[in-house]
Amino acid sequence: MTTDRHDYFDAMYGESDDPYALRTRWYELRKRDALLAALPRARYRCAYEPGCGVGELTAALAPRCDTLLASDFNDGALAAAQARIAGLQNVRVQKQDLPGDWPDAQGPFDLIVLSEVGYFLDADAMRTVARHCLGSLDSDGTLVACDWRPDFDGRVLPTDSVHAMLSDLGLTRIVRHEEDDFLLQVWSREARSVAQQEGIR
């Protein structure tokens, strides 16, 4: 990234309260639906979504979580997310900057969702985030990464590099959904498939 990522997002949210059109684009709605469908469990106890942006994915995850912590470092994004999840008693939105503010003390989490986050970090920071994911993922936890694939001015890491770092954690990959536009992967500490867990096979 040619400019500091804080300046990058300050500029974006200074121009729009939804700079990626997460509320209106069919692409974004479809991608959220794909992510939700890829989750291997119907419900989670304690979930974490860093880099929540305006909170559209947060709101979609909330009905499947007993508690959900969402975070971002940008004040404009946080204000939009707070407005989006107003009234959802099981969701907390906090200001956090990765990797330094990873909320280890608020875990363990049985769901961690990294959506469009990792490629804004440099390699050292992303490796630290990956280690935090492993360290704070519960014994039956699910880790999700979903990332835009084409290049763009704000990108620091290739999406394939982000996902390789997460794959190297040693968790069982249970979903890989790949399109020209985005890559969605799901890893779990539970090696059995959904059908196996339900006794279908």
Using CA atoms, how far apart are residues 91 and 25, in angstroms rounded to an integer?
24
Please tell me the total count of domains within the chain. 1
pTM for the whole structure: 0.95
Task: Show the domain range for 9.
Answer: 5-197
> How many angstroms separate the Cα of 174 from the Cα of each of 119, 144, 188, 194?
22, 10, 7, 9
Q: How does residue 174 score in pLDDT terms, banded at 50, 70 and 90?
A: very high
Model confidence pLDDT, tens digit, residues 90-126:
999 999 999 999 999 999 999 999 999 999 999 999 9
Using CA atoms, how far apart are residues 50 and 97, in angstroms rounded to an integer?
9
Q: What confidence score (pLDDT) does residue 12 get?
A: 81
Q: Tell me the two tokens of residue 174.
A: 């249970």
* CATH number, position 34: 3.40.50.150
